[in-house]
Structure 1
Amino acid sequence: MDYLLSLAVDPAAWIALLALIAMEVVLGIDNLIFIAILTNRLPEHQREIGRRIGIGLALIMRLLLLGSIAFIVKLTNPLFSVLGQEFSSRDLILITGGLFLVWKATKEIHHRVDLDPGPDLFDRKNVSLGFAAAMGQIVMLDVVFSVDSIITAVGMTEHVPIMIIAVVVAVLTMLLAANPLSNFIIANPTIVMLALGFLLMIGTALIAEGFGVKVPKGYIYAAMAFSALVEGLNMIERRSRRSRPD
């Protein structure tokens, strides 16, 4: 109890908490985009529950990982080396998750640009993904994003209560943003390609990080923000054209 009270009156602890919340919310964007895109493939009556389960699983995984800090720290220990490059459990998780994201995004981009793509991930009339399959893919990426999130938290502060509060706030933010984001993607088809491009970039960054090439996340999110701004301007321009009298 005294430990918690000392944290509550420590200005440095509050600064660390605010910084970690901001970082966890930003990291959660990756997770949320994937969940929003994948659940849009489900039948309409299953989408909201799918999003809630996916985000709930993300919270559970993060809290479980926080409860085993010693295990998380060991994930960064080298397991083996290839041509002088050391690989840890975290590296292998990031590489696997990155490859999955690149494969998934590339496959869906191909479906959208192919003249005869067959069932489309974002075509609500052609729903082919089962609920269990969607949850399985969400769980796989939840693991990847959770490991990255918690290792980032461990690197920013040594206080577990601060980590727990930051993670819970970030996941609650994801929960509040899930439905609006998914509905926005459905209502604006051009956003779909942009979101897939984001996933492709995030997957590539995860693979690079797994191979020891650190890509500053600030660059990634700055590129995402700039792309979103340009697409926002395009949307405003299209609406202006439609509202003009002939």
Structure 2
Amino acid sequence: MEFLADPQIWISLLTLTALEIVLGIDNVIFISILAGKLPKDQQAKARQTGLMLALVTRILLLCSITWVMSLTKVLFVLPVMQVDVTGKSLILLIGGLFLIGKSVMEIHEKLEGEDGHATSGSKGASFQSTIIQILLLDIVFSLDSVITAVGMANQLWVMITAVVIALGVMLAFAGAISDFVNRHPTLKMLALSFLILIGVMLVGDSLGHHIPKGYIYFSMAFAFGVEMLNLKLRAKAKPVELHQPYR
């Protein structure tokens, strides 16, 4: 138990936990938006299931560190762009394209839907399809989260503890975040725009063009701050109403 007296252990745990929470914010937003398409009585269950799947995915990947790190090995070189293609880059590319495509479809549905019906003509999302979509994005976000954890801590228990604490915090506030976003449609559009930005970042990373996350998070924080000022100034005005998926 002497390792518990090492201040470096606690510093790495606190730092990693904070980073995991920051990295998980976009995951929570995406889960909230997807869950928001379900009937009201299924939304909380979908959010909780999605976050629990994220927790399981992260722990499984942490316990398979050797395999995770092997994803950074070069599989082949893309001749056109001279880019080294790895398992990680393939996952980031697929996940980034999925995130961009899904976010654009959500924006189109909210703004171009007719008479409250989804443009695709579907009768709303099913619980199973929503969970599958959440799981696919969990894998992408978990990979980034796990590689960050491996790079910051040496002890497996520190990584797992940080992930569990971070997911616990997100689970506790997921409902509040979801309700707040759903009450303010402009914030939902802003959140979807953020997800497109994150998708572009993932695609860029997969092609060897790293975009510092500090720029991404700063732009998000600045845009969010401006929107909060707008909401405060226009609190008495009639809010914008977006189309809702057909139930």
Q: Comparing 136-145 with 81-90, which one deviates more in the overlay?
A: 81-90
Check 1:26–1:120 CA distance in 2 against 1; reply closer, same or farther (3 A cut): farther
Q: How does 1:78-89 map to 2 (within 5 A)?
A: 78-83=74-79, 84-89=82-87
Match 1:155 to one of 143, 151, 158: 151
**Who is 2:245 aligned against?**
none
Match 1:172 to one of 159, 168, 178: 168
**Who is 1:199 aligned against?**
195
Q: What's the RMSD between the two structures over aligned residues?
A: 1.7
Check 1:40–1:160 CA distance in 2 against 1; reply closer, same or farther (3 A cut): same
**Who is 1:110 aligned against?**
108
1:151-210 Cα deviation digits (max 9, x unpaired):
111111111111011100111111011100111111111111111101110111011111
In 2, are the aligned partners of 1:65 and 1:150 still within 8 Å (CA)? yes
Indicate the SS of the match to 1:239: coil
In 2, are the aligned partners of 1:110 and 1:117 still within 8 Å (CA)? no
Q: Comparing 129-138 with 180-189, which one deviates more in the overlay?
A: 180-189
Shift of 1:7: 2.6
Match 1:48 to one of 44, 48, 71: 44
CA distance in 1, matches of 2:131, 2:87: 23
Instruction: Find out whether 1:69 has 2:39 as its counterpart.
Output: no
Aligned residues: 234
Q: How does 1:109-128 map to 2 (within 5 A)?
A: 109-114=107-112, 116=114, 119-120=117-118, 128=124
Instruction: Find out whether 1:138 has 2:134 as its counterpart.
Output: yes
Question: What TM-score comes out, normalization by structure 1 length?
Answer: 0.91
Indicate the SS of the match to 2:210: coil
Partner amino acid, structure 2, of 1:209:
D
Partner amino acid, structure 2, of 1:178:
A
In 2, are the aligned partners of 1:24 and 1:170 still within 8 Å (CA)? yes
Indicate the SS of the match to 1:146: helix
Check 1:229–1:127 CA distance in 2 against 1; reply closer, same or farther (3 A cut): farther
Indicate the SS of the match to 1:128: coil
**Who is 1:225 aligned against?**
221
CA distance in 2, matches of 1:74, 1:130: 36
**Who is 1:57 aligned against?**
53
Q: How does 1:94-105 map to 2 (within 5 A)?
A: 94-105=92-103
**Who is 1:35 aligned against?**
31
Instruction: Find out whether 1:13 has 2:9 as its counterpart.
Output: yes
1:25-75 Cα deviation digits (max 9, x unpaired):
100011111100000000111000111000000000001111111111111
Q: Percent identity?
A: 44
CA distance in 1, matches of 2:78, 2:102: 27
**Who is 2:244 aligned against?**
none
CA distance in 2, matches of 1:112, 1:53: 25
In 2, are the aligned partners of 1:42 and 1:127 still within 8 Å (CA)? no
**Who is 2:91 aligned against?**
93
Gaps of 5+ in 2: 239-247
